[in-house]
């Protein structure tokens, strides 16, 4: 079968023919698959999947799970999109169809907490109306994520119903997250925004001996105290710092509050809130148990802004908010699988010696996308990578890298099961 078309420029005739040879646009995935093989991915997934199929005709659940992850890497944003790889015979041939070693961080890791909104269209379990800054009144899920900032590592995540407040279940989720970390990787500091300004969370962190920097919710009492601060220390011509101690209603102790005052300027917007009693300034207030000067606490917290990039990558690069099932825990399983995939891609970059962090979409475009043709040489399968897509030469260093076997961060399964609570609370707020 053949056909002819005319080139848009030049007027030359181009003949179209069909080929039975196996082709794939994702030949560059071979470097990622080699990484997975060396770190023991297949054995770890087979060991920790919570179910087994006994039928002799059943597809191995580990293969199904891996097919889903690779579909996301290839750009799928819906379960229906996973059919992209169903007919990719070349990639099937390459496939033959844990936890991670964290990079060193002498100062310790910053554990950042945040939540986001996954908008839903339908009647899925847990998809309820709640806080939604983009589409008010739209049913949604309200996931909670914990990130080790310096490692670009998603330590833990919970899917919650859409009507959950930001801090709902955060202590229970944090217990699970901390159970995943060995003692040598204890967080240097826990950082969170005003949605997590909660006595229960602060008390838990103090009980566990963890330091924290959390944005204070500016209630009436805090506004009054911030307005009463008189001992300001100028940081520069625009910023000044102060502090005070206060025990709010319902708290079991007074805590230290740090105030950053910023002068209003016409040339740039100022962060923080205005106080009627102190015109001409905006104020940001943090609560912390770290014995550091106010300006160091403020600058430390400002690094948490990178957390928004991780959430954006989950949504825009890996489609974490697009994979949804009718059953709540099935939707959470898809969400948690994408968290695992994000960490696998991050570990792939660290282990292969990438000098700078690259977003998942950048990896897809620069490394994984490569036209390839499946052939044979005798009894051996041969995958020919297209030179016009970069070919094999720039990918050989990634294939030659001796990737280390992943060390398990989980101390034992009981450590996590003891920290778990009835997760149904996240479906029904």
Residue 224 inside a domain? The answer is yes
pLDDT value of position 37: 87
C-alpha triplet 193, 199, 204: angle, nearest 5°: 95
Residue 255 inside a domain? The answer is yes
d(CA 258, CA 283): 10
- The CB density around residue 357, as the number of other CB atoms within 10 Å, is 12
- What is the phi-psi region of residue 190: left when phi exceeds 0, alpha when psi lies from -120 to 50, beta otherwise? beta
- The CB density around residue 46, as the number of other CB atoms within 10 Å, is 14
Phi, psi of 355 (to 5 degrees): -75, -30
Residue 219 inside a domain? The answer is yes
pLDDT value of position 429: 53
pLDDT value of position 105: 63
d(CA 11, CA 25): 28
Give me the residues of the chain with pLDDT under 70, please: 1-3, 5, 15-20, 57, 78-87, 90-91, 94-95, 97-107, 276, 404-429
The tokens for 121 are: 């269209």
Do the beta carbons of residue 146 and residue 158 sit within 8 Å?
no
| This prediction's pTM | 0.77
Phi, psi of 8 (to 5 degrees): -65, -40
Do the beta carbons of residue 373 and residue 387 sit within 8 Å?
no
Render pLDDT for 368-409 as a digit per residue (tens, 0 to 9). Answer: 888 888 887 787 778 888 887 788 888 888 887 777 664 433
Domain extent for 222: 212-288
Render pLDDT for 1-10 as a digit per residue (tens, 0 to 9). Answer: 566 768 778 7
C-alpha triplet 86, 90, 92: angle, nearest 5°: 55
Residue 394's closest CA among 32, 136, 28?
28
Residues in a beta bridge with 278 = 275
Residue 403 inside a domain? The answer is no
Residue 425 inside a domain? The answer is no
pLDDT value of position 410: 38
Do the beta carbons of residue 45 and residue 66 sit within 8 Å?
yes
Number of domains in the chain: 1
- The CB density around residue 179, as the number of other CB atoms within 10 Å, is 19
Render pLDDT for 101-152 as a digit per residue (tens, 0 to 9). Answer: 455 666 688 999 999 999 898 888 888 888 777 888 889 999 999 999 988 8
The tokens for 253 are: 């102790």
Helix crossing, 30-38 with 41-48: angle to 10°? 60
pLDDT value of position 100: 42
- The CB density around residue 269, as the number of other CB atoms within 10 Å, is 8
Residues 6+ apart with CB under 8 A from 181: 155, 187, 409
> What 3 state SS string does the chain have?
CEEEEECCCCCCEEEEECCCCCEECEHHHHHHHHHHHHCCHHHHHHHHCCCCCCCCCCCCHHHHHHHHHHHHHCCCCCHHHHHHHCCCHHHHHHHCCCCCCCCCCCCCCEEEEEECCEECCCCCCCCECCCCCCCCCCCEECCEEEEEHHHCEEEEEECCECCCCCCCCHHHHHHHHHHCCCHHHCCCEEEECHHHCCHHHHHHHHHCCCCEEEECCCCHHHHHHHHHCCCCEECCCCEEEEEEEECCCCCCCCEEEEEEEEECCCCCCCCCEEECCEEEEEEEEEEECCCCCHHHHHHHHHHHHHHHHHHHHHHHHCCCCCCCCCCHHHHHHHHHHHHHHHHHHHHHHHHCCCCCCCCHHHHHHHHHCECEEEEEECCEEEEEECHHHCCCHHHHHHHHCCCCCCCCCCCCHHHHHHHCCCHHHHCCC
Do the beta carbons of residue 338 and residue 35 sit within 8 Å?
no
Residue 279 inside a domain? The answer is yes
Computed from CA positions of residues 309, 311, 312, 316, in that sequence, does the dihedral angle turn out positive or negative? positive
């Amino acid at each position: 079968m053949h056909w002819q078309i005319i080139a848009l420029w030049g007027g030359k005739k181009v003949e179209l023919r069909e080929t039975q040879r196996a082709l794939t646009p994702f030949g560059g995935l071979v470097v990622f698959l080699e990484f997975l093989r060396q770190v023991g991915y297949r054995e770890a997934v087979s060991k920790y999947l919570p179910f087994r199929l006994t039928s002799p005709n059943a597809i191995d659940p580990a293969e199904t799970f891996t097919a889903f992850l690779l579909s996301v890497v290839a750009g799928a944003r819906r379960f229906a999109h996973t059919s992209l790889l169903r007919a990719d015979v070349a990639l099937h041939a390459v496939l033959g169809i844990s936890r991670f070693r964290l990079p060193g961080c002498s100062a310790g890791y910053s554990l950042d907490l945040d939540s986001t909104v996954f908008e839903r269209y339908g009647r899925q379990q847990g998809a309820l109306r709640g806080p939604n800054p983009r589409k008010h009144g739209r049913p949604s899920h309200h996931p909670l994520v914990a990130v080790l900032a310096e490692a670009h590592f998603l330590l833990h995540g919970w899917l919650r119903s859409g009507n959950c407040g930001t801090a709902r279940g955060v202590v229970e989720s944090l217990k699970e997250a901390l159970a995943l970390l060995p003692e040598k990787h204890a967080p240097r500091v826990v950082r969170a925004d005003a949605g997590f300004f909660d006595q229960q969370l602060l008390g838990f962190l103090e009980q566990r001996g963890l330091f924290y920097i959390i944005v204070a919710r500016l209630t009436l009492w805090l506004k009054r105290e911030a307005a009463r601060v008189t001992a300001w220390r100028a940081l520069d011509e625009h910023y000044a710092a102060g502090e005070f101690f206060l025990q709010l209603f319902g708290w079991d102790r007074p805590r230290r509050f740090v105030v950053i005052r910023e002068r209003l300027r016409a040339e740039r917007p100022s962060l923080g809130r205005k106080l009627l009693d102190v015109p001409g300034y905006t104020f940001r207030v943090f609560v912390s148990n770290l014995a550091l000067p106010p300006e160091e606490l403020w600058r430390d917290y400002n690094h948490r802004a990178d957390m928004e990039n991780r959430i954006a990558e989950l949504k825009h690069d890996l489609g974490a908010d697009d994979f949804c099932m009718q059953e709540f825990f099935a939707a959470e399983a898809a969400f948690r699988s994408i968290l695992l995939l994000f960490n696998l891609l991050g570990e792939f970059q660290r282990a292969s010696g990438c000098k700078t962090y690259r977003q998942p979409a950048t990896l897809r475009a620069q490394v994984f996308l490569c036209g390839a043709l499946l052939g044979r040489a005798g009894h051996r399968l041969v995958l020919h990578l297209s030179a016009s897509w970069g070919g094999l030469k720039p990918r050989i260093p990634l294939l030659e890298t001796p990737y280390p076997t992943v060390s398990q961060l989980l101390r034992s399964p009981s450590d996590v099961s003891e920290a778990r609570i009835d997760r149904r609370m996240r479906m029904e707020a």
